Structure 1
Amino acid sequence: MTSDMILPFYQALTADVQALSAQCQATAMDTLGDIRRQALERFSAIGLPTLKTEAWRYSNIQRYLKEFPYELQTTATPVSGDVAASVAIPELDCYQIVLVNGHLQADQSTLPQGKGITIGAMSAHTSAPGFVSYFNEQKHLAGESLAQLNTALFADGLYLELAANTVLDKPVHIIHVYTCAAHAFIQPRHLWVLNRNAAATVIETSVHPETAAVAFSNTVLETVVQENAELWHYNIQQGANSFREVHTTAAQQYKDSRYYHFNFTLPGTPFTRNNLSVALNGSHTETHLNGLYIANDSQHVDNHTFMDHIMPDCHSNELYKGVLLDSANGVFTGKILVHQEAQKTNAFQQNNNLLLGNKADINSQPQLEIYADDVKCSHGFTAGQFSEESMFYLRSRGIGEDAAKALMVNAFSHDITDAVKVPALQHFLQAQIAEIMNN
């Protein structure tokens, strides 16, 4: 396993899995008991990540696990509707779904209705066709120890399945509320399945009422985008000092599908790790991964992406940008793997960073691994500060230093925010960026 320091933590996890397995055997979720135990065995074999784990060499998660012992949150905790209202996006016409520690709050949610739409708590849909076919089937999760831990421990999450030819008429806004009275280890698990010719836009935001207790969320989301389906997914991470997060998204795409993923990590949470993997399981797919992270104080933000080009004639485009203030630390690891069968692949990856703090730091590792010979692939990385010439230009026109920095950060992030296709969300993000830089 890992060090003695982690041993009590692991023993507690084992006891929790045994308790959840017993609960599963007594309920309609009895089929999950074996899955949980197998996941715990894989987690035990892999162990918690350490600085010796290649994919975690710049992110010391064990530093944050020292804050435990913890309580495993497996039941719903009601919260006031004012909590979710505090993070509503102005002028956004949407369906609203509120999850508290991964549990659906039906009284605060407005779910899309109609033929071909299945949406609700994961715990109520373990016999749904999409769950049976796709739950825990994404191969990229097999080697992720924390994803296996989530599989062993998760209590609930959001299940969404759209039947063939079903198109949601407006975005779904998921508001994640994380709250606890004592140190908590929270394991939300979500599965979204878009069948042939289906389409949806999903926006995720979060709110964390500040408490003395620490909430650590280890979230796993599996998405399936079937033939000619289209998913726009926006994940906005706004944290609090009492929150830590590991967020794993594993997506599968099939022939002629389109997947647009946006990840915005904003200041507040001391530790954020995002794992994003996409398996291109069909030809003529289109994938766009966009990320913007703005970190301040001693915040640590780690984005780890994997584009797995399996089939021919696919296109992927990845652009991640970072703004690091104060003594913030950023990590970007992006890998593109092109299999031998994936001829005529077109893959682009770029990571650009602004280091605006005297002690700010970035570790970037763009990677290409190509086994096909008829491809167009490129990757790149930049890190720097504001152009002195541009700053002088703005200052000479009467613009203060802080305002000039805000303008330049807005310009730096423009090609990310401009790609957001929901006007209310785009305006919200631009306002958030301006507020961060003006404080």
Structure 2
Amino acid sequence: MTSDITMPFYQAITEDVNALSAQVSPAQDELQCIRREALDRFSALGLPTLKTEAWRYTNIQRFLKEYPYELLTAAATVPASVTEKAAIPQLDCYRIVLVNGHLQADISELPAGKGITIGALSAHTQAPGFVNWFNKQPHLSGESLASLNTALFADGLYIELAANAVIDKPVHIVNVYTSGTHAFIQPRHLWVLNRNAAATVIESTIHPDTNTVAFANSVLETVIEENAELWHYNIQQGNENFREVHTTAAQQHANSRYHHFNFTLPGTPFTRNNLSVALNGSYTETNLNGLYIADKSQHVDNHTYMDHIMPNCNSNELYKGVLLDSANGVFTGRILVHQEAQKTNAFQQNNNLLLGNKADINSQPQLEIYADDVKCSHGFTAGQFSEESMFYLRSRGIGEDAAKALMVNAFSHDITNEVKIPALQHYLQEQIAAIMNN
């Protein structure tokens, strides 16, 4: 294992890996074999460093050695009042509470109906979706932190929709992270939508602790089968005692539709989002939308990968950032078009507003094309407020802070306007206005 980090945390993780490796035999069941293979991959890859190409602008080791983190696998519970902090006004939804990745059923409302299976991942390791799809996303194999999660995860949320099953209203997942010690937590989730199925899922994060720090290394695998459709909204709004690496690997099949929204708001010092989509069927539609607003010395890194494998697919990606104070943003967006993926339409754009004197952005749009009948484009912009627009608003009696809030709202409109749930759209717009008026 190669790494330039020396700290109690790294030593402890290595001991956990070695201890689990010693306990696992290839003769054991398939899940244990998967864990063993993941341990071997992590041992070979090590933790990312600044020499790791995908992490060249993000020094994760600086955040990992801040505190003496302990690997946390035990289940915990919280009172219902804790989750109310994540409530979205006027939103009619099912609410599912996960505490450190474990389902807390007593304060959750799970959708019920024919063909709908939702529950703890640990209770569904023999389910068809798990057997067919768990750890099958090819983009995870090169991610050392995803391999670490595969080796050491305790639990997560399992969703499987049978063919033609539709969840009648949004599912709001409230991820609560809490511990009596500084904790390194490994939630693992698997969502499978079979043919013609449809769902809308919203995620929120809460870290109620004020004396301990939680570092979540979460992995979500999503499979969207033929003609299925998934809307996924992820709202990241933690506090100064929370850090997160969030890895999402999606796989689409013919005629499927996938809409992913990521909203990273101020509060958490460090956020890294890894999002990859494998377009494994023709005539798929993929829409990736991201908005990140960072303040103080917050670091937000979005790393996306759009893998066009089959022909006649469309993908649209728009990420926008607002960086205040001395915040730092990173965007790396890769589009790969294979030779077989003729008639691909792929669009990618990353726009940024730098509103702090020390704010900065590192953006790397990447386009790799091996097909000759395609329409592909990518772009990047970074700048400040238009002086003309600011003068126009100020000359009409609008104060400077209010003018900035209006312009940020206009800047983010391309993202928030695509949110198809009125209550959620209104909530996000209010959050953005409150941030800028603070």
Which bracket does the TM-score occupy, shorter chain normalised?
A: over 0.9
User: Within 1, Cα distance between the matches of 2:167 and 2:24?
Assistant: 33
Counterpart contact for 1:210–1:240, Cα < 8 Å: no
How far, CA to CA, are the matches of 1:318 and 1:260 in structure 2? 10
Deviation at 1:30, TM superposition (A): 4.8
CA distance 1:276–1:121, change in 2 (3 Å) = same
Q: CA deviation at 1:273?
A: 0.2
The CA distance in 2 between the partners of 1:332 and 1:167, in whole Å, is 34
Maintained 8 Å contact 2:336/2:368:
yes
1:2 CA drift (Å): 3.3
Instruction: Provide the rounded CA distance (Å) in 1 between the counterparts of 2:348 and 2:4.
Output: 40
Aligned position for 1:362: 361
Change (3 A) 1:79 1:20: farther
- Whole-Å separation in 2 of the counterparts to 1:117 and 1:402: 47
- 123-132 or 208-217, larger mean C-alpha shift: 208-217
User: C-alpha deviations, 1:227-282, integer Å up to 9, x for none?
Assistant: 00000000000011011100000000000000000000000000000000000000
The Cα of 1:69 is off from its aligned counterpart by 2.7
The answer to whether the 8 A contact 1:257-1:286 is kept is yes
Aligned equivalent of 1:185: 184
2:150 maps to 1:151: yes
Moved more, 252-261 or 4-13: 4-13
Would the aligned equivalents of 1:266 and 1:293 in 2 still touch at CA under 8 Å? Answer: yes
Task: State the alpha-carbon separation in 1 of the partners of residues 407 and 230 from structure 2.
Answer: 31
1:200 and 2:199 matched: yes
1:256 aligns with 2:262: no
User: Using the alignment, how far apart are the partners of 1:285 and 1:323 within structure 2?
Assistant: 31
In structure 2, give the amino acid aligned to 1:331: V
Aligned to 2:41: 42
Quickly say closer, same or farther: Cα 1:191–1:402, change in 2 above 3 A. same
Is residue 136 of structure 1 aligned with residue 127 of structure 2?
Answer: no
Matches of 2:97 and 2:15, distance apart in 1: 29
How much has 1:311 moved relative to structure 2? 0.1
Q: Within 2, Cα distance between the matches of 1:383 and 1:135?
A: 39
| 1:181 shift after superposition | 1.2
- 1:13 aligns with 13
For residues 21 and 191 of structure 2, the distance between their equivalents in structure 1, rounded to whole angstroms, comes to: 24
Partner of 1:227: 226
- The answer (yes or no) to whether the contact 1:175–1:205 under 8 Å persists in 2 is yes
Say if 1:181 and 1:211, in contact at 8 Å, map to a contact too. no
The Cα shift of 1:212 comes to: 2.1
Q: Contact 1:163–1:196 (CA<8 Å) still a contact in 2? A: yes
The SS at the match of 1:378 is strand
* Deviation of 1:113 (Å): 0.5
Give the aligned length. 436
Contact 2:350 2:381 in 1 (8 A): yes
Partner of 2:242: 243
Between the aligned partners of 2:159 and 2:290, the Cα distance in structure 1 is 24
**Structure 2 residue 379 is the aligned partner of structure 1 residue 348:** no
Aligned-pair CA distance for 1:20: 5.5
What CA distance in whole angstroms lies between the structure 2 residues aligned with 1:238 and 1:188?
A: 18
Contact preservation (8 Å) 2:184, 2:216: yes
Instruction: Indicate how the Cα distance of structure 1 residues 252 and 370 shifts in structure 2: closer, same or farther if over 3 A, else same.
Output: same
| Mapped partners of 1:119, 1:297: distance in 2 | 39
Q: How far apart, in 2, do the equivalents of 1:268 and 1:302 lie?
A: 14
SS of residue paired to 1:6: coil
The CA distance in 1 between the partners of 2:255 and 2:172, in whole Å, is 26
C-alpha distance after superposition, 1:61-112 (max 9, x if no partner) = 0001112432211111111111101111001000100001100000010000
1:308-327 alignment, distance < 5 Å: 308-327=307-326
Kept in 2: contact 1:21–1:32 (CA 8 A):
no
Deviation of 1:24 (Å): 8.4
Identify the residue that residue 123 of structure 2 maps to in structure 1. 124
Superposed, 1:22-421 pairs within 5 Å as 30-421=29-420
Q: Offset at 1:13?
A: 2.0
Whether the aligned pair in 1 keeps the contact of 2:160 and 2:193 (CA below 8 Å) is yes
Task: Describe the superposition over 1:141-170 as per-residue Cα deviations: whole angstroms up to 9, x where unpaired.
Answer: 000000001001100000000000001100
AA aligned to 2:245 is: V
Aligned to 2:122, the other structure's residue is in SS state helix
Mapped partners of 1:54, 1:22: distance in 2: 31
For the Cα contact (< 8 Å) 1:160–1:191, is it kept in 2? yes
Q: Is the 8 A contact 1:189 1:219 kept in 2?
A: yes
Aligned residues: percent identity? 81
How many Å apart are 1:15 and its aligned residue?
Answer: 3.3
Kept in 2, the 8 Å contact 1:24–1:32? The answer is: no
What residue identity is the alignment partner of 1:54? Answer: E
Q: Which residue number corresponds to residue 2 of structure 2?
A: 2
Q: 1:4 to 1:311 in 2, by over 3 A?
A: closer
TM-score, length-scaled by structure 2 = 0.97
Amino acid at match of 1:395: R
RMSD of Structure 2 on Structure 1 (CA): 1.5
Deviation at 1:6, TM superposition (A): 3.5
Letter in 2 for 1:316: S
Alignment partners' CA distance in 2, 1:21 and 1:103: 24
User: How far did residue 4 of structure 1 move?
Assistant: 5.8
What is the identity, as a one-letter code, of the residue corresponding to 1:268? G
Query: Cα deviation per residue 1:166-201 (whole Å; 9 max; x = unaligned)?
Result: 011000000000111111000000000000000000
Contact 1:21 1:33 in 2 (8 A): no
Given that residues 234 and 262 in structure 1 are in contact (C-alpha distance below 8 angstroms), is that contact kept between their aligned partners in structure 2? Answer: yes
Paired with 1:21 and 1:171, the residues of 2 have a C-alpha distance of 40
Letter in 2 for 1:350: Q
